[in-house]
Amino acid sequence: MSTLKVHDKEFIPYITSQQIEEQVTRVAAEINKDYEGKRPLFIAILNGAFIFAADLFKKINVEAEICFIKLASYKGVKSTGKVITAIGLDAELYNRDVIIVEDIVDTGKTLSQFLPQLEHHHPASLKVASLLHKPAATVHSIKIDYLGFTIPDKFVLGYGLDYDGLGRNLKEIYQLI
Ligand code: 5GP
Protein backbone atom coordinates (compact mmCIF):
# COMPACT_ATOMS: atom_id res chain seq x y z
CA MET A 1 0.00 0.00 0.00
CA SER A 2 1.36 3.43 -0.89
CA THR A 3 2.24 5.60 2.09
CA LEU A 4 2.13 9.36 2.25
CA LYS A 5 4.68 11.52 4.01
CA VAL A 6 3.46 14.81 5.56
CA HIS A 7 6.07 16.80 7.45
CA ASP A 8 7.91 14.14 9.46
CA LYS A 9 5.14 11.52 9.64
CA GLU A 10 3.95 8.61 7.46
CA PHE A 11 0.28 7.98 6.74
CA ILE A 12 -1.63 5.19 4.99
CA PRO A 13 -4.89 5.48 3.02
CA TYR A 14 -7.77 4.75 5.39
CA ILE A 15 -11.16 5.93 4.08
CA THR A 16 -11.66 6.33 0.32
CA SER A 17 -13.37 9.31 -1.25
CA GLN A 18 -16.15 6.96 -2.41
CA GLN A 19 -16.78 5.76 1.15
CA ILE A 20 -16.85 9.38 2.33
CA GLU A 21 -19.31 10.31 -0.40
CA GLU A 22 -21.59 7.40 0.56
CA GLN A 23 -21.68 8.34 4.23
CA VAL A 24 -22.13 12.07 3.53
CA THR A 25 -25.07 11.15 1.28
CA ARG A 26 -26.57 8.97 4.04
CA VAL A 27 -26.14 11.66 6.70
CA ALA A 28 -27.70 14.28 4.40
CA ALA A 29 -30.68 11.97 3.74
CA GLU A 30 -31.21 11.57 7.50
CA ILE A 31 -31.13 15.35 7.98
CA ASN A 32 -33.45 15.95 5.01
CA LYS A 33 -35.97 13.55 6.53
CA ASP A 34 -35.74 14.94 10.08
CA TYR A 35 -35.95 18.61 9.03
CA GLU A 36 -38.73 18.38 6.46
CA GLY A 37 -40.78 21.59 6.66
CA LYS A 38 -38.17 23.27 8.85
CA ARG A 39 -35.35 25.66 8.03
CA PRO A 40 -32.24 24.44 9.85
CA LEU A 41 -29.24 26.66 10.48
CA PHE A 42 -25.97 24.78 10.00
CA ILE A 43 -23.03 26.11 12.00
CA ALA A 44 -19.80 24.68 10.62
CA ILE A 45 -16.68 24.83 12.75
CA LEU A 46 -13.57 26.03 10.94
CA ASN A 47 -11.06 25.04 9.83
CA GLY A 48 -11.44 21.28 9.79
CA ALA A 49 -15.13 20.98 8.89
CA PHE A 50 -15.11 23.18 5.79
CA ILE A 51 -15.04 20.39 3.19
CA PHE A 52 -17.47 18.10 5.02
CA ALA A 53 -19.81 21.05 5.58
CA ALA A 54 -19.71 22.04 1.89
CA ASP A 55 -20.31 18.48 0.61
CA LEU A 56 -23.06 17.88 3.18
CA PHE A 57 -24.78 21.19 2.52
CA LYS A 58 -24.90 20.54 -1.25
CA LYS A 59 -26.98 17.43 -0.50
CA ILE A 60 -29.47 19.21 1.77
CA ASN A 61 -32.74 19.72 -0.05
CA VAL A 62 -34.84 21.45 2.62
CA GLU A 63 -34.60 25.23 3.03
CA ALA A 64 -31.44 25.77 5.02
CA GLU A 65 -28.85 28.35 6.06
CA ILE A 66 -25.20 27.90 6.87
CA CYS A 67 -22.61 29.97 8.69
CA PHE A 68 -19.00 29.29 9.58
CA ILE A 69 -17.37 30.00 12.88
CA LYS A 70 -13.97 29.59 14.39
CA LEU A 71 -13.41 28.50 17.96
CA ALA A 72 -10.58 30.14 19.83
CA SER A 73 -9.38 29.08 23.23
CA TYR A 74 -7.78 31.43 25.66
CA LYS A 75 -6.72 31.14 29.24
CA GLY A 76 -9.60 32.19 31.46
CA VAL A 77 -9.25 34.10 34.66
CA LYS A 78 -10.17 31.02 36.66
CA SER A 79 -7.81 28.15 37.24
CA THR A 80 -10.04 25.81 35.23
CA GLY A 81 -7.83 26.16 32.17
CA LYS A 82 -8.75 27.21 28.66
CA VAL A 83 -12.04 28.87 27.80
CA ILE A 84 -13.55 28.49 24.35
CA THR A 85 -15.05 31.41 22.50
CA ALA A 86 -16.77 31.50 19.09
CA ILE A 87 -15.59 33.98 16.46
CA GLY A 88 -18.00 34.97 13.69
CA LEU A 89 -21.19 33.78 15.34
CA ASP A 90 -23.45 36.62 14.25
CA ALA A 91 -26.56 34.59 13.35
CA GLU A 92 -29.61 34.85 15.59
CA LEU A 93 -30.01 31.41 17.19
CA TYR A 94 -33.16 32.07 19.22
CA ASN A 95 -35.88 29.59 18.23
CA ARG A 96 -33.78 28.20 15.36
CA ASP A 97 -33.13 24.54 14.57
CA VAL A 98 -29.36 24.51 14.82
CA ILE A 99 -27.05 21.77 13.52
CA ILE A 100 -23.39 21.99 14.52
CA VAL A 101 -21.08 20.57 11.84
CA GLU A 102 -17.75 19.20 13.10
CA ASP A 103 -14.94 17.32 11.38
CA ILE A 104 -14.16 15.02 14.29
CA VAL A 105 -15.16 14.48 17.90
CA ASP A 106 -12.06 13.25 19.69
CA THR A 107 -11.98 13.82 23.49
CA GLY A 108 -15.27 15.76 23.24
CA LYS A 109 -13.73 18.68 25.10
CA THR A 110 -14.42 21.28 22.40
CA LEU A 111 -18.12 20.53 22.06
CA SER A 112 -18.61 19.93 25.78
CA GLN A 113 -17.62 23.56 26.30
CA PHE A 114 -19.24 25.04 23.19
CA LEU A 115 -22.69 23.38 23.20
CA PRO A 116 -23.73 24.83 26.60
CA GLN A 117 -22.78 28.30 25.30
CA LEU A 118 -25.17 27.80 22.37
CA GLU A 119 -27.95 26.61 24.67
CA HIS A 120 -27.86 30.05 26.28
CA HIS A 121 -29.26 31.47 23.01
CA HIS A 122 -32.33 29.21 23.37
CA PRO A 123 -32.39 27.54 19.96
CA ALA A 124 -35.54 25.50 19.21
CA SER A 125 -33.25 22.48 18.84
CA LEU A 126 -29.52 21.81 18.85
CA LYS A 127 -28.00 18.77 17.10
CA VAL A 128 -24.50 17.68 16.19
CA ALA A 129 -23.30 16.31 12.86
CA SER A 130 -19.73 15.01 12.81
CA LEU A 131 -17.89 13.26 10.02
CA LEU A 132 -15.72 11.25 12.42
CA HIS A 133 -15.86 10.06 16.01
CA LYS A 134 -13.16 8.40 18.12
CA PRO A 135 -15.12 6.78 20.98
CA ALA A 136 -11.94 5.36 22.56
CA ALA A 137 -10.64 8.91 23.11
CA THR A 138 -13.76 10.13 24.91
CA VAL A 139 -13.19 12.26 27.99
CA HIS A 140 -16.41 14.29 27.71
CA SER A 141 -19.33 12.31 26.33
CA ILE A 142 -21.06 14.07 23.41
CA LYS A 143 -24.30 13.00 21.76
CA ILE A 144 -23.60 12.91 18.04
CA ASP A 145 -26.92 12.95 16.22
CA TYR A 146 -25.55 12.52 12.69
CA LEU A 147 -22.29 10.60 12.30
CA GLY A 148 -20.24 9.58 9.27
CA PHE A 149 -17.69 7.13 10.66
CA THR A 150 -16.61 5.66 13.99
CA ILE A 151 -12.81 5.32 13.95
CA PRO A 152 -10.10 4.06 16.32
CA ASP A 153 -8.02 6.42 18.44
CA LYS A 154 -5.40 7.12 15.78
CA PHE A 155 -4.53 10.46 14.21
CA VAL A 156 -6.11 11.04 10.78
CA LEU A 157 -5.77 13.68 8.09
CA GLY A 158 -7.30 14.65 4.75
CA TYR A 159 -10.74 15.83 3.62
CA GLY A 160 -10.39 19.05 5.62
CA LEU A 161 -8.34 17.67 8.51
CA ASP A 162 -4.71 18.74 8.75
CA TYR A 163 -1.45 17.77 10.28
CA ASP A 164 0.29 20.99 11.25
CA GLY A 165 -1.36 22.90 8.41
CA LEU A 166 -0.95 20.33 5.64
CA GLY A 167 -3.18 17.62 4.19
CA ARG A 168 -6.54 19.37 4.21
CA ASN A 169 -6.78 19.12 0.40
CA LEU A 170 -6.52 15.31 0.27
CA LYS A 171 -9.68 13.71 -1.13
CA GLU A 172 -9.29 10.59 1.03
CA ILE A 173 -8.75 10.24 4.76
CA TYR A 174 -5.33 8.94 5.81
CA GLN A 175 -4.29 7.37 9.10
CA LEU A 176 -1.01 7.79 10.94
CA ILE A 177 1.09 4.62 10.79
P1 5GP B 1 -11.85 17.33 20.92
O2 5GP B 1 -12.11 18.63 21.61
O3 5GP B 1 -13.09 16.51 20.63
O4 5GP B 1 -10.78 16.51 21.61
O5 5GP B 1 -11.13 17.67 19.56
C6 5GP B 1 -11.75 18.19 18.48
C7 5GP B 1 -10.77 18.80 17.52
O8 5GP B 1 -9.43 18.24 17.61
C9 5GP B 1 -11.22 18.51 16.10
O10 5GP B 1 -12.15 19.46 15.66
C11 5GP B 1 -9.91 18.53 15.33
O12 5GP B 1 -9.61 19.85 14.95
C13 5GP B 1 -8.87 18.04 16.33
N14 5GP B 1 -8.57 16.61 16.14
C15 5GP B 1 -8.89 15.60 16.97
N16 5GP B 1 -8.47 14.41 16.48
C17 5GP B 1 -7.86 14.67 15.29
C18 5GP B 1 -7.23 13.84 14.29
O19 5GP B 1 -7.12 12.60 14.38
N20 5GP B 1 -6.74 14.49 13.21
C21 5GP B 1 -6.81 15.83 13.05
N22 5GP B 1 -6.28 16.34 11.94
N23 5GP B 1 -7.40 16.64 13.97
C24 5GP B 1 -7.93 16.07 15.07
Q: Are the beta carbons of 54 and 64 closer than 8 angstroms?
A: no
Tell whether ligand 1 has an atom less than 6 A from the beta carbon of residue 100: no
Per-residue confidence in pLDDT tens, the chain, 177 aa:
689 999 999 999 999 999 999 999 999 999 999 999 999 999 999 999 999 999 999 999 999 999 999 998 876 555 556 778 999 998 899 999 999 999 999 999 999 999 999 999 999 999 999 999 999 999 999 999 999 999 999 999 999 999 999 999 999 999 999
Tell whether ligand 1 has an atom less than 6 A from the beta carbon of residue 170: no
List of residues 6+ apart from 84 with CB closer than 8 A: 71, 72, 73, 110, 113, 114, 117
pLDDT at residue 82, rounded to an integer:
72
Evaluate whether the domain defined by 4-176 bears CATH number 3.40.50.2020. Answer: yes
List of residues 6+ apart from 39 with CB closer than 8 A: 62, 63, 64, 65, 96, 97
Distance 117 CA to ligand 1 centre (A): 20
From the CA of 108, give the closest atom in ligand 1. Answer: 3
pLDDT at residue 76, rounded to an integer:
58
pLDDT at residue 129, rounded to an integer:
98
* Residue of minimum CA distance from atom 17 in ligand 1: 155
pLDDT at residue 72, rounded to an integer:
86
Q: Are the beta carbons of 164 and 147 closer than 8 angstroms?
A: no
Q: Are the beta carbons of 141 and 108 closer than 8 angstroms?
A: yes
Neighbours of 68 (CB within 10 A): 18
pLDDT at residue 83, rounded to an integer:
77
pLDDT at residue 74, rounded to an integer:
74
List of residues 6+ apart from 42 with CB closer than 8 A: 53, 56, 57, 60, 64, 65, 66, 67, 99, 101, 129
Domain residue spans in the chain?
Answer: 4-176
pLDDT at residue 90, rounded to an integer:
86
Pocket test for ligand 1, best of 69, 138, 161 (most atoms within 8 A of CB): 161
